[in-house]
Amino acid sequence: MKKKQNLVGVIMGSKSDWADTMEHCSNTLKKFGIKHDVKVISAHRTPKRLHKFLKEAEKNKMEIIIAAAGMSAHLAGVTAALTTIPVLGVPTEGKLKGLDSLLSTVQMPSGIPVGTLAIGKAGAINSALLAVAILSTRYNEIHKKLLKYRQNFEKKVPKKPF
């Protein structure tokens, strides 16, 4: 496995997407020892930063990009339009309980796909776990960790609700 390079890029539209949401994505990737870059990049506010990030991501053979944004959430879609690196989208929960972000992220017209996860924290965690699952088809070391995670995960679910 490549040790030095970031396999995953985690980008988010605002600093406000980090606490309680995208920090969980990063923490989950860390649990699997997956090297990743984390940056605030907005499709609307910092489009030049997005172009620069993607140029470097392609040069450094980044394998997956996780893009989180809220409100009129175009980050994942614009990212997917600018690169062939697979993009996972996380709608964040800022306004309208995240329904605005969900629809903006998930409703891509045919041709440019974004693999959209659930709104907020669940989506943030699952975006990392999906990235892990995708990488595990290529890296045996990651696959072993994923199998172990799933075994332990099942044990943590209580048999009774009380």
**Which stretches of the chain bind ligand RP5, using CB under 6 A?**
12-14, 16-17, 42, 69-71, 92, 94
- C-beta of 26 vs 42, nearer to ligand RP5: 42
Q: How far is the CB of 75 from ligand RP5 (least distance, A)?
A: 7
Least distance (Å) between residue 93 CB and ligand RP5: 8
**Of 7 and 78, which CB lies nearer to ligand RP5 in the complex structure?**
78
Which C-beta is closer to ligand RP5: that of 69 or that of 129? Answer: 69
Taking the least distance from each CB to ligand RP5, the nearer of 95 and 148 is: 95
Minimum separation from the CB atom of position 71 to ligand RP5 (A) = 4
Residue 129 CB, nearest approach to ligand RP5 (Å): 21
Give the separation between CA 10 and CA 41, rounded to whole angstroms: 10
C-beta of 44: minimal distance to ligand RP5 in Å? 6
Is the Cβ of residue 26 or residue 142 nearer to ligand RP5 in the bound state?
Answer: 26
Among 7, 33, 16, 37, smallest CA distance to 120 is for 16
